[in-house]
Chains A and B, each alone.
Chain A
Amino acid sequence: MPQVGIAGETIDVNEEGYLTNSEEWTPDVAREIAKVEGIELTDKHWDVLEYLREQHAEGAKLTIRRVGKSDVVDSVKEFYDLFPDGPLKKASKIAGIPKPASCV
């Protein structure tokens, strides 16, 4: 399993750069991954990241549609505006949770 140095820590990630242990996540880690993805994290971004981490911890199945219909953003459109090009994939990576299993 590859490891990368992020925010002064050694973090376990998979081939696609998703954290393999969400316990290793810290806000600094999030900021660095976001920077690589070209995203400057605002309060709104942090709300979404927190929501995703909570949902993940509860074992919920996450979809773009679900996030869009939650109260954390107004719409799917806003979610896309915050995390362009594949919002759920990007936001999950930054939130330190696994890549959402796409449906089959």
Chain B
Amino acid sequence: MNHLLILGAGTAGTMMANKLRAKLDEAEWEMTIVDKEKAHYYQPGFLFIPFGIYDPERVTRPKADYLPDGVRTLWAEVEKVTPEERTVRLADGRELSYDLLIIATGVTPDPEETPGLHGALWYEDAFDFYTYEGATRLADKLDTWKGGRLVINMSEPTIKCPVAPLEFAFLADTYFTEKGMRDDVEIVFTTPHEGAFTKPIASKALSSLMEKKGIEVVPDFYLMEVDEDEKVLRTYDGKEEPFDLLVSIPTNKGADYVAESDMGDVEDLNFIPTDNHTLQAEHYDDIFVIGDTTNVPTSKAGSVAHFEAEILEENVLSYINGEPLTASFDGHANCFIETGFGKATLIDFNYDTQPLPGKFPIPGLGPMSLLKETRLNHYGKLAFEWVYWHMLLQGRHIPVPTHMSMMGKVPEEEADPELVAA
């Protein structure tokens, strides 16, 4: 009997458990999945909680309900992987061995990485919305907040769902407008990137949208510390931004055990070195890595985990059959961006092609507009919740191609960033 072990039962781990259990013979392959937490959070829903659009209960369901029969589930924290011995040690002392390992333990925000962030102001005047607790507490804060200077900040350039901070800014604009207090709130978006987004056309389009909505963008702002007494953010090069209310996206880190586990050059953020195309761990043939915890140069997003899962399913089966790994991930990412007042925009890109304007065909729903605010995109974003719980986690086919397609897109040379924002 062979043993396939999956670490992490979040978006990516759950998809892989479902896909592979359906494909692997139970008489030949035993499967186990390990997670330290029993609740599955629909993380994209965290964005809506602070504004009272979603109730907190709505985003939480038992992980066990989404895992297939025939997969043993262990609720425990992973403490160390020893690739040379093909073993995994859990915090409760148990040791598991594997023939094939899939790592899907994601990333978590860690406010302690930034001096002054996780101190006296935390959950008083400084909040995150990337966790259930942060989003819920921020909802209470916004409910009674009288206004002032709202500063949104990313501690580090690499975070999961890199568009979520922008969406937060847009939704804050709507929220305060609808409450009749927009004039009492200054919204400032500080980012370590050169602009609102990392790629030029989308960055221009999103920056001008921000400007239109009266949101100030402060680029090249790399946070060093939060001055708790002065309520000021300070960068390494001495720039300062005072705030009344800070919405922080703390440093996103991979799980602690990664650093203990000899996975190669993981730096101090614990992103695992992963082949960009096969999704095999860089140093070990019998380990595959998927989702936010990889170091592949594309967005860390649920949609990315989904496209990766399609590739990984094929490559794991090839590996088991002793065949070459022919499926190749292209970095495809597809993200709806809420822009407020019932509209959203959409970006679709990969390792080689930046987000471009144009149309994005989705059978059944009709073509969506890329880099343009529309109501249909907003409905697409909302529909993603249903798709996530009912199709994506089960590993069902979703009618969006795994590899990015140029169909409908305006080529880079012809794209006019000035026009796409409107």
Contacts and interface: CB of A to CB of B under 8 A. Distances in A.
- A, B in one complex: yes
Interface of A: 60-61, 63-66, 69, 76-77, 79-80, 84-86, 101-104
A61 B237 contact: no
Interface string B297-309: 1110000000000
Contact of A85 (B162, B220, B265, B299): B220
A66 B271 CA distance: 13
B6 interface: no
- By Cβ-Cβ distance, the 5 closest A-B pairs, closest first, are A80-B236, A103-B158, A80-B237, A102-B198, A104-B299
A104 B162 contact: yes
20 contacts: A61-B297, A63-B158, A66-B267, A69-B268, A76-B222, A76-B236, A77-B224, A80-B237, A84-B237, A85-B220, A85-B237, A86-B194, A101-B297, A102-B193, A102-B194, A102-B198, A103-B157, A103-B162, A103-B297, A104-B198
Q: From A63, A76, A84, A102, name the one whose CB has the most chain B CB atoms within 10 angstroms.
A: A102
Interface string B265-289: 1011100000000000000000000
A48 B299 CA distance: 29
Nearest to A86: B220
A80 B213 CA distance: 32
Contacts of B156: 65
B269 A65 contact: yes
Contacts of A86: 194, 220
B333 interface: yes
B198 A60 contact: no
Contact of A65 (B268, B295, B299): B268
Given A64-B222, A104-B199, 5 more contacts: A61-B297, A66-B267, A69-B267, A85-B237, A104-B298
Contacts of B237: 80, 84-85
A77 B237 CA distance: 7
A45 to B, nearest CB: 16
Interface in B319-342: 333
Contact of A76 (B157, B193, B224, B297): B224
A79 B224 CA distance: 12
Main SS at interface, chain B: loop
B192 to A, nearest CB: 8
Contacts of B265: 60
A66 B389 CA distance: 37
Contacts of B198: 102-104
A60 B265 CA distance: 8
Contacts of A104: 162, 198-199, 297-299, 333, 349
A84 B333 CA distance: 33
Interface in B46-81: none
Contacts of A79: 236
Contacts of A65: 156, 267-269
B7 to A, nearest CB: 23
Contacts of B269: 65
A85 B299 CA distance: 25
Contacts of A103: 157-158, 162, 198, 297
Nearest to A75: B236
A2 to B, nearest CB: 18
Contacts of A61: 295, 297
Contacts of A66: 267
Nearest to B220: A86
Nearest to A84: B237
Nearest to A103: B158
Nearest to B219: A86
Contacts of B236: 76-77, 79-80
Q: From B237, B267, B299, name the one whose CB has the most chain A CB atoms within 10 angstroms.
A: B237
B190 to A, nearest CB: 15
Interface string B156-172: 11100010000000000
Nearest to B197: A104
A21 B297 CA distance: 22
A36 B87 CA distance: 54
Interface string B232-246: 000011000000000
Contact of B157 (A60, A63, A80, A85): A63
Contacts of B349: 104
A33 B157 CA distance: 26
Interface string B135-177: 0000000000000000000001110001000000000000000
A80 B239 CA distance: 12
B417 to A, nearest CB: 16
Contacts of A85: 220, 237
